[in-house]
Chains A and B, each alone.
Chain A
Amino acid sequence: MMLRQLLRQAASNVAEPTPSRRAFLKGTGGALVISAVVPLGSFAAESAAPGIVGPADPRPNLFVRVAKDNTVTVLVKHLDKGQGIMTGLTTIVAEELDADWSQMRGEHAPADSKLYGNHFFGIQGTGGSTAVANSWDELRMAGAAARTMLVNAAAAEWKVPADQITVAKGVVSHKASGKSATFGQLAEAASKQPIPAKVTLKEPGQYSLIGNETLHRLDHVSKTNGTAIFAMDIRRPNQVTAVLARSPRFGGTVKSVDDKAARAIPGVIDVLTLPVGVAVVAKNTWAAIKGREALSIQWDDAKAEKRGTDQMLAEYRAQAKKPGTKAARKGDTGAAFKTAAKVVEAEYSFPYLAHAPMEPLNATLEIKADGGAEIWAGSQFQGIEQPVVAGILGTTPDKVKINTLWAGGSFGRRATTTADYIAEVALIAKALAAKGKKVPVHLVWTREDDIQGGRYRPMVVHRVKGGLDKAGKLIAWEQAIVTQSFIADTPFAQVMIKDGVDATAVEGASDMAYAVPNLSVDYHQMASPVTTLWWRSVGHTHTAYAKEAFIEELAAAAGKDGVAFRLELLGDAHPRLTGVLKLAAEKAGWSKPLAPAADGSKRARGVAVHESFSSFVAHVAEVTVSKDGKIKVDRVVVAVDCGVPVNPNVIKAQIEGGTGFGIGHALRDQITLTDGLVDQSNFDGYEPMRLSDMPEVEVHIVASTARPTGVGEPGVPTAAPAVANAVFRATGQKLHDLPFSKAGVV
């Protein structure tokens, strides 16, 4: 268990990894820790090339680089895996700098947890939709500081008072003297100015770039002409490609290997038996894949998972009927149910789900002469990967240089507590180096490796019971959540597991916003060698579904409209939730029910509302159910409140995509096991949402001056329950077991 020990070591740096921003804020006394952050501008650097290849010149607290060629480069410490954070964070700096958008560039920052740590995690890493919230103060200050230095440089050069100087669209001007200069022209002089001790930040009313709908993403061209460089595209001199044969059953290990046939494949360089599997190293990817196919491996399944998911699910369902570990308690549910006029019960089940980012996992690692290493990867947890790799190679984390590249999706998959695929490539490179082959190694996961490789969204069962009084008022709620924990046995456990309850499993349920005087939420932790992981929106992927689908069933039992019932339960206590709920309902035309389709197919709307990662989202889905019971999601209206909308174009894109992600998986995706073997292997068996499945999506952003929060994940949780509720309202059919294809409606 070397990796686990390494990780424990790595995690000694982990200060505040908690699952929700609410908890983060609690942990830091209601404010982000920014006092320690000194924003520095680096001026007169060499021109930054557009696009991201890797940082050229890491210096302390370096966030902004103004170059002589008049480009301004923002060093972004968070991974852009599609969510548009490169654009979002650059917008924040550009605003305070009064730059012209066309001169702005973005670049992934170097890996250095001390300089570029996520203030919520204590190490460098991206996740939990924290990036904008995390960087909001720091980057506004960096932009403002750089602006002040440019102004002071101009004042000194023109011999005019600094307070008479204005800055607009990247031009510094002094009206009375008619003097003006670009940032580029002032860059060198500004670099000699002292860093201001204090800066004044703009008020929201002064924003011209923040909230501006017309800004394009920084990567909107390079990703449409094939020039954007992903980790998969890295080609180092003498690079070799490796693929790894891993145990087909989770928890299995290598017993014996016959690699004769593999070594005979032209292009195969070596075959290595490692603790993580059998690596085939070759001149190119095709040879590596062919070599792996030619391997004959006997696996030791003594400790492996041999159950199928049907059996596991049955065990989960049985467990849900037993008392669990207390996650939330209020009042006395037992007494309340005795007085209830109506009791509703339901059980919801959720399958394992793969993240399946479009770019399969891969990384290139090169061992350096000093014993350190250089890595090229779509790196999401640099603060874990550095110490893990350092531990494997016997060096120190600072000697592990990571070039963070655009990632082709992640959805949580690239952020692991063990640096899994990065550790694999380090083990392979080390083993090769030990045989005298010190060459850059590119480890490639095939799609089959990805679909069958675990780290799934856990399987979950929710058993829920609700009680209504005679007036249809909700008086009691009991819920049992049965699932695996991907936090237990990791260093994150010390913060994220409290009193035996994994916060990532119960978030969105134990802190339910609906007013109910008697509440009981229990947590049950199941074990399996099947590896699991956070998956875009984490616990909310299932808790929001169970909560919102069940609330709809309660509303129906109470004879109430879905929106009205929710508003009643939210009362005045949750203005941002009621705000998005009302906005989505209004924009969707909720008050006018849908007429049946011309062919007689039933049509209805469904609604769901939820808070996740401190953002608030409501979905209204319009669904047609054909006469043979098949569903089609026609249109989805979404309202989102994420505080100050930094980049509305990116926010809308994230909510559109999150909606598709939520609905797509709910329709037909599941990872199942038979005798411990994964049944699906590629996009044929695990078929993602396709263009023809995608509904129209209309996104409305709530105007707000609240601190901005994330949008990468919050678009997911309510999408699927809104669809399920539409189907329920159209036909009465309750979609309790995901994916919907299990019920024959897809």
Chain B
Amino acid sequence: MISLDINGKVREVDVPEDMPLLWVLRDELNMTGTKFGCGVAQCGACTVHVDGQPTRSCQLPASAAVGAKITTIEGLSGKAAAAVQKAWADLDVVQCGYCQSGQVMAATALIAENQNPTDADIEAALDGNVCRCATYVRIKAAVKQAAKLART
């Protein structure tokens, strides 16, 4: 059994040690907000926070997540998250929406650290998150709006 701290709750899972956290969340715990996009940390759809840091859960073996505080889209809370989700909704960022859990997780981690992100900061934080619908114009605008909301 592997014991994981997910969204503030201790969850015991009986999985092989090498099973990526992504599949623990999705297949064992039925937490499907975190998405499978590529499996090789190239798209960011599976982004979760591990001790506050945006992390690709498809490349993180369950055993390596033991002892860390894991936050998924389902457990996202706080000022930065609220600002990001409000900005995302206000600007109708989503199209197909499949990448957006990951985008929101990455943007929230950025805004939590930096409420005045430059274009370069936004690119650095979100370039790893692919959106095949190319909602990037609105993602950029929403990050800026979220930063503004978070500052007030």
- Residues in A lying within 8 Å of B, measured CB to CB: 81-84, 216-217, 219-230, 232-233, 235, 241, 266-267, 284-286, 289, 356-360, 406-409, 411, 444, 446-448, 649-650, 653-654, 656-661, 664, 682-684, 687-692, 694, 696-697
Contact = CB atoms under 8 A, between A and B. Distances in A.
B50 interface: no
A657 B97 contact: no
Contact of B45 (A358, A411, A658, A682): A358
Most buried by A among B27, B133, B138: B133
A226 B33 contact: yes
B92 A653 contact: yes
Interface in B37-52: 37-40, 42-43, 45
A408 B98 contact: yes
B32 A691 contact: no
Nearest to A230: B98
Nearest to B129: A691
B151 to A, nearest CB: 20
A357 B36 CA distance: 12
B74 interface: yes
A659 B134 contact: yes
A356 B138 CA distance: 21
A267 B137 CA distance: 43
B85 A660 contact: no
Contacts of A689: 134, 136
18 contacts: A216-B92, A217-B92, A220-B89, A227-B33, A229-B32, A232-B35, A356-B132, A358-B133, A359-B98, A406-B96, A408-B96, A408-B97, A447-B43, A448-B39, A683-B42, A689-B134, A692-B123, A696-B137
Contacts of A683: 37-38, 40, 42-43, 130
B11 interface: no
Contacts of A235: 30, 32
B96 A682 contact: no
A448 B58 CA distance: 14
Contact of B97 (A228, A241, A444, A692): A228
B127 A692 contact: yes
Contact of A224 (B36, B40, B93): B93
B125 to A, nearest CB: 9
B36 A691 contact: no
Contacts, number: 183
A286 B27 contact: yes
Contacts of B34: 226
A409 B96 contact: yes
A638 to B, nearest CB: 11
Contact of B133 (A289, A409, A447): A409
B130 A358 contact: yes
A357 B137 contact: no
Interface string B57-95: 000000000000000111010000000010011001111
Contacts of A359: 35, 37, 96, 98
A82 B96 contact: yes
Contacts of A230: 35, 98
Contact of B94 (A217, A444, A660, A664): A217
A228 B39 CA distance: 21
A70 B127 CA distance: 43
Given A285-B27, A682-B38, A688 B138 contact: no
B122 interface: yes
B100 interface: yes
B131 interface: yes
Interface in B111-133: 122-123, 126-133
A229 B37 CA distance: 15
Given A226-B73, A226-B74, A360 B136 contact: no
A321 B138 CA distance: 45
B55 to A, nearest CB: 16
Contacts of B27: 241, 284-286
B97 A219 contact: yes
Interface of A is mostly: loop
**Ranked 5 nearest A-B pairs via Cβ:** A226-B33, A660-B134, A408-B98, A82-B96, A223-B97
Given A216-B89, A224-B104, A232 B36 contact: yes
Contacts of A357: 96, 98, 132
A718 B102 CA distance: 30
Contact of B100 (A223, A285, A697): A223
A224 B43 CA distance: 17
Contacts of A266: 16
A52 B137 CA distance: 27
Given A222-B97, A358-B35, A411-B132, 4 more contacts: A286-B20, A447-B38, A684-B40, A691-B136
B148 interface: no
Contact of B23 (A284, A690, A692): A284
A682 B100 contact: no
Given A82-B95, A226-B101, A656-B138, A688 B127 contact: no
Contacts of A286: 15-16, 19-20, 23, 27
Contact of B85 (A224, A447, A684): A224
A241 B26 CA distance: 12
A225 B15 CA distance: 27
B53 interface: no
A84 B36 contact: no
Contacts of A227: 33
Nearest to A693: B136
B139 interface: yes
A593 B101 CA distance: 41
B71 to A, nearest CB: 12
A658 B72 CA distance: 30
A218 to B, nearest CB: 10
A344 B30 CA distance: 61
Contact of A285 (B23, B33, B74, B134): B23
Contacts of A649: 92
B137 A226 contact: no
A232 B92 CA distance: 23
B109 interface: no
B132 to A, nearest CB: 5
Most buried by B among A241, A411, A448, A656: A656
A83 B95 contact: yes
Contacts of A406: 96-97
Nearest to B87: A224
Given A660-B134, A694-B136, A224 B32 contact: no
B28 interface: yes
Most buried by A among B16, B28, B140: B16
A682 B40 contact: yes
Nearest to B139: A691
Contacts of B74: 226
Contacts of A411: 132
Contacts of B134: 656-661, 664, 689, 694
Contacts of B147: none
B23 to A, nearest CB: 4
A88 to B, nearest CB: 13
A81 B96 contact: yes
Contacts of A658: 134
B32 A232 contact: yes
B19 A688 contact: no
Contacts of B4: none
Most buried by A among B42, B45, B99, B134: B134
A262 to B, nearest CB: 15
Contacts of B92: 216-217, 220, 649-650, 653
A285 B76 CA distance: 25
A690 B103 CA distance: 12
A447 B137 contact: no
B93 to A, nearest CB: 7
Contacts of A267: 16
